[in-house]
Structure 1
Amino acid sequence: MIALGIGGTTVALWPRPSPLPSPIEPAAIEAKGCKEGFVWRSAIFGDSVCVSPADYGEVQAQNANARNNRSPTGGPYGDSTCRDGYVWREAFESDLVCVTPFERDKARKQNADNAYNRI
């Protein structure tokens, strides 16, 4: 802290915090353990299923759009109830992001194919 006297008033100046580093998109770095051309899916932090960069982008779009695919009035699963025509993605235990049945099947296939996409 630096204290400056200005016109009879003391003003305390705190050092400016250094800026945080920019987050690096997982798709922009080589995912440890994935074969070349594959990246971590990152459905949640720590999700290291290896997928194509295009699939990574789709999963991030699903996450960003998750709220829009939930029932606005709730339902049998409370706030986790999906709109008609949507189901839980279930890419991992407790994954309640609402997606189309096709997208859920794709997440299941990604999980099944993960062993083939790893080094």
Structure 2
Amino acid sequence: MNTDNLYPIAELRPFIPAIIELQNRIAGIEQYCEPLGFELAESYETEEQLFHDLFSQKAFAFQVCNERDECWDILLETFSQFAARSKEMTFATKGNRQERLQAISKWLIQLCDWEQTGFVNNSKH
């Protein structure tokens, strides 16, 4: 998705920093497991639609572990960082616990620029 499509709709602008950070965190995963790449629709009309798609990324439903039994945590690092220190990775579907889903939801909301100051909040959590 091109984030330029979101600028004309005021209620969607706050999500742009979250989209950019999420794209950055997931980038490269599709080289190892194609269906897990970052996906959004070409356009949105409401923030509910956009948030739902951000929160529903396929990568959230998988546990990615390496040969040292380390598991990738999107809240802590990019997939590229994890892959760089991994020789072998396994991708297992998992049911997310309610606490994990809440943490991801909170993280996505924190990445948004609700003040629309132009500041991109991409601090690492």
Q: Which of the pair has more CA radius of gyration?
A: 1
- Normalized per residue, the structure richer in strand is 1
Same fold by TM (over 0.5)?
A: no
- Report 1 or 2 for greater relative contact order, CA contacts < 8 Å, sequence distance ≥ 6: 2
